[in-house]
Structure 1
Amino acid sequence: MKPAMLIRSCTLALTTAVFSGAVLAQAWPSKPVRLLVPFGPGSGTDTIARVVADGLSESLKQPVVVENREGAGGLVGTRAAMTMPADGYTVVAISNAFLIAPQLFKAAPYDPTRDFTALSKVAAMPMTIVVGASSPFRTMKDLIDYIRANPGKASFATSGKGAQSHLEIEYIKQQLRLNAVDIPYKSTGAAIGDTISNTVTFYMPVFPPVASNVASGKLRALAIGAPSRLPALPDIPTYIEATGIANYVPTSWFGYVVLAGTPAEAVAKLDQGIAHAATLPRVRDKIQGVGANMSVAPSREFAAEIRSEAEKWSKLINELGLRTE
């Protein structure tokens, strides 16, 4: 081949390669995106994921398919996600359990800060502390004073060892040097019933399941997980007010991650798409309809929250000796 022809051929090949790369970069996503939910249909994580998937699909102009992989407190689904390519086509819906599980179980196959890249947080449900209407405790101070004066006599309902409802109370106990007894329940309904009847002294669930009982006067809410008092619940003090624990805002939140190593373009488009979904009135209405509040944090801010909360749970779980094989 003549030198001039060789130069033209090489130039054409290089131009084609650059053009093809640009086309490929612009093409993401070129197929449907899987939104993997590590919990069963109907769970809070699942319900919110399905609502967000609708808005995300609109932004990406590709179908977003929700796939449930439940089991072992979210470990089954997370393990499945880790076997998939880090190409942005698998997004994982997460909640606080995503950070708690690897601290509880030595066999957990992932590190939430090393193995995943944060996208956005979209919603949160405030946690509350409730007592029965006939309980003598009118305020959080009343309850704290009683526990201090009667160590080991007060009891609290939880969803089981290592559940967020358990760990949050253990955190309060640690911060305020309190001694109260954990009573695990298999269902929220049973825990609510025994709190109403004063069989247990208090309970710390997310607010939506107890909202109707608080409104009807069967339960009394002593604190709410929010930075400031909620307009809809102006008489319920925040945990910061009620306990004096600085910056303590316990919530059950919902967000999204992808595998570490996912291309930056895919991360950016997914993050933008989730942010877009959160602005849609139909998405906001449905999220608020299940008792959650919009609590949007973009990827960098959410990543910082994940690191901070993971460190908190790791320290607490190790100090309590709850880590298992």
Structure 2
Amino acid sequence: MPFKTLRQLALFPALCLAFAGTAWAQGQPPAQDWPTRPVTLVVPYAPGGVLDGLVRPLAQRLSESLGKPFVVENRAGANTAIGTGVCARGEPTGYTFCATGSSVWTNALLQKNLPYDPVKDLAPVTNLVFADGHIVANSSVPFNDLKGMVAYAKANPGKLNFGSFGEGSTAHMFIEYIKDRAGVDIVHVPYKGAAPVIQATLANEVQMTYMATGAVLQHIKSGRMKAIVAPAPQRSPFLPDVPTLAEEGFDLKPSAWFGLFAAAGTPKPIIDRMQAEVRKILQDPKFREQVLTPQFYTPVGNTPEEFAEFGRREREIAATLVRVSRLKPE
């Protein structure tokens, strides 16, 4: 057989693969044509719960701007791991996204059998919002700020009770961090959900808790609660006189946030387009007035690269909080 023919035969499999890859790429709609069918936005909480008030209006606006339905699918359970897993294990085609918060990182530290790796299996799209939250206290406590709380706890070990909405929750880890750094004895009391914690704090069954600002602002304004400190990188625009943890001498700058992710491998042009559309919506004054401000959300809408870097820092913070909380993977 002539050498030329042999060489052509040897190249044939590679040519077939190249052709197949080109044909596959041509079969995918370019980013400017995306979406060509309905898109699913997974929310890893129960219907009517955390995030629905943000994601459902966002989905409606995306449907209007992109011309295809954006369908919200609630998949609650396992501290958001079930819903997040739907996205992490989904096809990277740009038709499944998930909205979640810091539990995306803490779950990897606290769940032994998590069926996905959030770093490897999720592609960051954008940080949607920062959620406002404060450590608050019953108005009867004899202190008004974090320094006063620490001084009281040192003088009265074991007499302050701190309520949270569950073992391993953000509230739990925040108080354990303060206890560890300040060297104080404060009793952690877990409840099943936010509403029972608020009622327990109002009734002085526990003296303090960490809660979303919107859930307790009425009680702060009425004088039944005090805002003690903001565990956040900066002061809240809703309670600007309340200092942050860093301002009170603690070296942690945690954030309460919700962001958007896709499956790893989702085409970059689709991720970029999704981020750009979401950012436009978050910047719209009407959307801010009707959706974000009433829920005490501060819009972000950063780039995928900026969100990825933010995630790297948040993973370090999550590791610190889990360590000082002495929580073990289960």
**TM-score tier (shorter):** 0.7 to 0.9
Counterpart position of 1:145: 151
Matches for 1:50-89 after TM superposition, within 5 Å: 50-89=56-95
What is the aligned counterpart of 1:258 among 257, 262, 270?
262
Q: 2:100 & 2:329 partners in 1: Cα distance?
A: 22
Say if 1:296 and 1:17 are closer, same or farther in 2 by CA, change over 3 A. Answer: closer
- 2:295 is matched by which residue type in structure 1? V
Contact 1:56 1:276 in 2 (8 A): no
Evaluate the alpha carbon distance shift between residue 91 and residue 220 of structure 1 in structure 2; reply closer, same or farther with a 3 A threshold: same
Query: Residue 9 of structure 1 aligns with which residue?
Result: none
Q: CA separation of 1:322/1:60 partners in 2, compared to 1, >3 Å: closer, same or farther?
A: same
1:311 to 307, 311, 316: 316
Q: Decide which of 277, 286, 291 is 2:296's aligned counterpart.
A: 291
- Against the structure 1 CA distance between its residues 225 and 58, is the aligned structure 2 distance closer, same or farther, given a 3 Å change threshold? farther
The alpha-carbon distance between structure 1 residues 22 and 132, as it changes in their structure 2 partners (threshold 3 A), is closer
Summarize the alignment of residues 1-325 of structure 1 with structure 2, pairs less than 5 Å apart: 20=26, 24=30, 26-241=32-247, 243-246=248-251, 248=253, 250-285=254-289, 286-318=291-323, 320-325=325-330
* Contact 2:283–2:299 (CA under 8 A) maintained in structure 1: no
Question: CA 1:34/1:308 → structure 2, altered by over 3 Å: closer, same or farther?
Answer: same
For residues 318 and 111 of structure 1, do their structure 2 counterparts lie closer, same or farther at Cα, with a shift above 3 Å needed?
Answer: farther
**Mean alpha-carbon deviation: is it higher for 83-92 or for 306-315?**
306-315
Deviation at 1:215, TM superposition (A): 0.8
Distance 2:53 2:120 in 1: 27
1:3 matched residue in structure 2? none
Deviations 1:208-258 (A, max 9, x none): 1111100111101112245444454233223322x212462x442111000
Residues 251-297 of structure 1 deviation map (CA, whole Å, 9 limit, x = unaligned): 42111000111111111111111111212223212121223222333
Unpaired runs of at least 5, structure 1: 1-12
> Is this contact kept in 2: 1:36–1:66, CA < 8 A?
yes
Q: 1:238 to 1:23 in 2, by over 3 A?
A: closer
Does the C-alpha gap of structure 1 residues 113 and 17 become closer, same or farther in structure 2, counting only changes over 3 Å?
closer
Aligned pair in 2 of structure 1 residues 22, 176: CA closer, same or farther (>3 Å)?
same
Structure 1 runs (4+) greater than 6 angstroms displaced = 16-19
Residue-by-residue CA offset, 1:141-174 (whole Å, 9 max, x unaligned): 1101112233333221111110111112212222
Task: Give the distance between the partners of 1:202 and 1:25, measured in 2 at CA.
Answer: 49
> Structure 2, unaligned stretches of length 5 or more?
1-18
* Residues 231 and 49 (structure 1), Cα distance of their counterparts in 2 relative to 1, 3 Å cut: closer
Contact 2:89 2:121 in 1 (8 A): no
SS at match of 2:90: coil
CA shift, 1:38, in A, is 1.1
Specify whether residues 92 and 268 from structure 1 end up closer, same or farther in structure 2 by C-alpha distance, changes over 3 A only: same
Structure 1, 93-102 or 156-165: larger mean CA deviation:
93-102
Deviation at 1:300, TM superposition (A): 1.5
Counterpart residue identity of residue 300, structure 2: S
- CA distance change for structure 1 residues 163 and 171 in 2, over 3 Å: closer, same or farther? same
2: distance between equivalents of 1:247 and 1:194?
27
1:204 to 1:119, Cα distance in 2 relative to 1, 3 A: same
TM-score, with normalisation over the residues of structure 2?
0.85
Equivalent AA in structure 1 for residue 256 of structure 2:
S
Shift of 1:110: 2.0
What is the CA–CA distance in structure 2 between the aligned matches of 1:58 and 1:49, rounded to whole Å?
14
132 and 17 in structure 1: CA distance in 2 versus 1, 3 angstrom threshold: closer
Contact 2:180–2:324, Cα closer than 8 Å, also in 1: no
Contact 1:131 1:219 in 2 (8 A): yes
Q: Distance in 1 between matches of 2:313 and 2:236?
A: 24
**Does the 8 A contact of 1:113 with 1:307 survive in 2?**
no
Call closer, same or farther: CA 1:209–1:66 in 2, change over 3 Å. Answer: same
